[in-house]
Amino acid sequence: MSPDIEQSGGNMPQEFPEEEIHLRDYLNVILKRKWTIISCFVVLVTVVTIASFKMEPVYKATCQILIERDNPKVVKIEEVMAIDASSTDYYQTQYEILKSQELAERVIKRLNLYDNKEFNRKPKIGLGTIIAAIRNFIGNAIKNIIGSKKEQKEYQIDETNRLIKAYLARLDIKPIRNSRLVNISFEAHDPQLAAQIANTHAKLYIEQNLERKFSASKEAVNWLNKRIKEVKEKLEKSEEALRKYKQAHDLVSIDFEESHNIRVQRLNELNTALMEARTKRIEKENLYRELKRISDKPELIESMPAVVANPLIQQLKAEYIKSKADYSKLSQSYGPEHPKMIRLRSEIKELKNKIASEVKKIARSIETEYRVAKKQEAALNKALEEEKKKALALSEKEIQYNVLKREVEINRTLYESLLKRAKETNITEDLPVSNVSIVDPARIPDVPFKPKKRLNILLAMVVGLTMGIGLAFFLEYLDDTIKTPEEVERYLKIPFLGYIGKVIIAKDNPYSPDLVALKEPKSHIAEMLRNVRTNILFSTSNFPRKALLVTSSTQGEGKTFLTINLGISLAQMGKRVVVIDADLRKTRIHRIFGLKKHPGLTEVLTGNHGLESVIQDTKVENLKIIPCGTIPPNPAELLSSEAMKGLIDRLKEQFDFVLFDSPPVMSVTDPTILANLADGVIIVIKGGETPRPPIQR
């Protein structure tokens, strides 16, 4: 259905389910906007094809280099060089160096690319280039007249920066995954120059890498020499401190391990002797305390184990017992004053005195032994404490000695290590060894890298088709007009009665296009009108509707055309039809039929004329017309009057169908008033032009 199609719908009650969007809807959009899609596709493919064939070919040369993981050198000086070649960031750093401006400037200077036509190509002549050339010419002339060396230098810097940017834009550094290989590629219109620049870039990178290593080695040597001097001084100071400490503490020939063993042995001996002395002292102390406790009881003293066990006491007690026995025996034979009895008593007394005297000696010896044991314990304890102090002092000396000795050893080890590194660095400084090498030098390419004509055309086809489809859906999104019967039911929720194509009348046709159903009854438009008529009759079969209002949202959508031709079509099938020109602001129906404008609807409603006097006949049988009449000052009040209601009721009794032609809905309130009086409303929509919002409102 084209945008020139007029559609009609009615307010017949009908339920419309919510419609889902299907693939068919998308295909319909594509088919409807196919020329937009085709245009985008053809234009883009044509432009890209022409540009690809007219574009100057660009050649790409690639030089492949190898960056070793480990630096292939004779001696290991990784610590001095401070390069961790095994780490991933080392390789990332090398990739960035390959893309650096400093390396690019070296290549530019080495190959003298300042005047190379590859980097000084003249742009195509155009208005912009002419203006730019004039501006540059005037600017250069002024600089030459009043310019200074500083300005010339700034110009040279700008030119160098421009060349570097252009150079880097054509350079491509691409590491090969899971390897240590790197491709250095350069693009140029001259294939020989592309290969030359790629190889030169690789060679200068290797030179730069060697220079950096030599510079690092030189800096390392200087640093090492300075460090060696500092460490040497530190070593000498630590050795002198150790020597003075040994002299001050008489440690010149001492063996700390042997002295330590002697001290441990001596401490063990003293500790053992002290334990024995303490045990003996406790034993003597117990005897002494027991003696003190029974000192006033001689008989208990004599029973003490130390006294009883004394041999002399045992002998004296034996003699004493024997004398006592002899005395007892002789007492049976002799009297007390017998010389023998006197002698025995004297012996017994003497023995008793000796025993008492000996007991006292033993008591004094116990006290003496206790005091001696106590002094011996104290002496051993003192000797043990002194030995501990000596051992502790020796340990402190040993610790301090070991600290000084360890510092000397550390300084000596560091000094020797630095000397070794210095020798290694001096040797490496003279070895021109690099961890970068050229694996595959760039060759002069014989096939252009750009433009990739097939790929460009293929991409243009894909992009053109995508853009076309995208533009089609975008235009469809922006297009809020009603275009199809499905959209009528989807957005307006009213049944679709039919559509009428655009009426095209030849210039030599004397008939008005508004009477196509009458003048050209066999035409395609007349057939469409009959289809609308049939749909209206079917829709009103269950709910008879005689008074029908025909309106639209805006002017020029064909509501008057539909009202007239629908009336003609209904009349042709024998229906009694009256068409009322209810557009009291812009009347037109009477001119189409060649009838009088007065009297009309206004005169009937105001009571100036009767109904029969305003109904006019037409050339169509069964079709009557009520013209507008005089345009009233207040059409809305007139249409909403009781007279209008009575008029409609009378007309419905006389005719099968009463058709009202009203003004557009968005212009005035007249259609709203008439819609409340009519049995049904037919809305005319101009396909592809009438927007949805006004109709929905």
Q: What pLDDT score was predicted for residue 130?
A: 45
The pLDDT, as a whole number, for residue 691 is: 67
Comparing 324 with 176, which gets the higher pLDDT?
176
More confident residue, 594 or 259: 594
Question: Angle at Cα 577 formed by Cα 576 and Cα 581, nearest 5°?
Answer: 160
How far is residue 697's CA from residue 695's CA, in Å, rounded to a whole number? 5
pLDDT at 1 over 50: no
Would the pLDDT of 646 be above 80? yes
Distance of CA 138 to the CA centre of its chain: 51
Give DSSP secondary structure letters for 4-73. T-EEEEE------PPPPP-HHHHHHHHHHTHHHHHHHHHHHHHHHHHHHHHSPPBEEEEEEEEE-SS---
Share of residues in the chain with pLDDT > 70 (%): 74
pLDDT at 128: 42
Task: Tell me what pLDDT residue 181 has.
Answer: 93
Q: What pLDDT was estimated at residue 134?
A: 47
Tens digit of each residue's pLDDT (9 = 90 or more) over 489-511: 776 777 778 777 777 655 555 55
pLDDT at 200: 94
Query: Class assignment of domain 493-696?
Result: alpha beta
Average pLDDT over residues 282-311: 62
Beta bridge partners of 64: 183, 440
Q: Give how far the C-alpha of residue 556 lies from the chain's centroid of Cα atoms, to the nearest Å.
A: 58
Q: For residues 376 and 274, what is the distance between their CA atoms, to the nearest angstrom? A: 9
Q: Name the residue ranges covered by the structural domains of the chain.
A: 17-53+451-478, 56-220+435-440, 256-429, 493-696
One-letter amino acid identity for 371? R
Q: What pLDDT digit, counting tens, does each position of 74-99 carry?
A: 444 444 444 444 567 888 889 999 99
Q: Compute and round to an integer the Cα radius of gyration of the chain.
A: 67
Residue 140, pLDDT score: 60
Q: Is-contact 695 8, C-beta < 8 A?
A: no
Q: Which residues pair with 623 in a beta bridge?
A: 577
Helix (H) or strand (E) holding 690: none
Instruction: Tell me the average pLDDT across 17-30.
Output: 71
3-state secondary structure of 414: helix
CB of 560 closer than 8 Å to CB of 589: yes
DSSP string, 129-183: HHHHHHHHHHHHHHHHHH--HHHHHHHHHHHHHHHHHHHHHHEEEEEPTTSSEEE
